[in-house]
Amino acid sequence: MPTSLLDLAPVVPVVVIEDADDAVSLARALVAGGLPTIEVTLRTPAALDAVRAIAGAVPEAVVGAGTVLTPEQVTECVAAGARFLVSPGWTDGLLAAMAASGVPYLPGVSTASEVVALLERGVREMKFFPAQAAGGTAYLRSLAGPLPQARFCPTGGIGPDNAPEYLALPNVGCVGGTWMLPADAVAARDWARVESLARAAAGLGPGPKAGLRDAGGTSR
């Protein structure tokens, strides 16, 4: 059983849900396609209801919350059933709340200093965001030498064409993206297309693995 969120699947779908009624069908399509780790971003009013719905109806999914910005959101997300938390950046207050939440978490970083600061605090797994704008694979490759203990889930500007290059890096466990959830497919509730795109994304890496116990240093 993998002990890290980063090892469940090669790709984490980053989901923006406008209608919570779509959440369960969308999650089932992603899971059927081989992507069980689902990050629902807190960018819409429907997000918490979507997390709650997926957690209750799709037990084979590992649903988490993204764009977590405040300690209050940490509490709300865990109460809704989120099994992991992702933030685009971090502060000491947010980090403390995520650490106390009891679920795995990926604080966002984009500089070497931020990585070192998290390592100093005992966090070894992080979101690298915005990946392409912050230096892409060349930057992550440069970090691997002096900071080999840090592992990343890069998101931001990643698609099927460049995801394999990221996944080939020794310090990348998985990548996050939205390309398997095109807006027109979601609007049309074309879950068969979503499942097909998810299956193609899952094929970019070694595939999903069963179970999530803890996040290897990112949960307390």
Q: Which residues are catalytic?
A: 39, 127
Kindly report the backbone phi and psi dihedral angles of residue 42, in degrees, each rounded to the nearest multiple of 5, phi listed first.
-85, 50
Contact indicator for 150, 132 with CB cutoff of 8 Å: no
Which residues lie closer than 8 Å to 190 by C-beta, 6 or more apart? 184
DSSP assignment letter at 129 = T
Contact indicator for 176, 158 with CB cutoff of 8 Å: yes
Distance CA 71, CA 14 (A): 21
Kindly report the backbone phi and psi dihedral angles of residue 85, in degrees, each rounded to the nearest multiple of 5, phi listed first.
-130, 140
Distance CA 136, CA 166 (A): 8
- Dig out the tokens for 6 from the structure: 């980063």
DSSP assignment letter at 49 = H
Q: Compute the half-sphere exposure of residue 36: CA atoms within 13 Å on the CB side of its CA.
A: 18
Kindly report the backbone phi and psi dihedral angles of residue 172, in degrees, each rounded to the nearest multiple of 5, phi listed first.
-115, 125
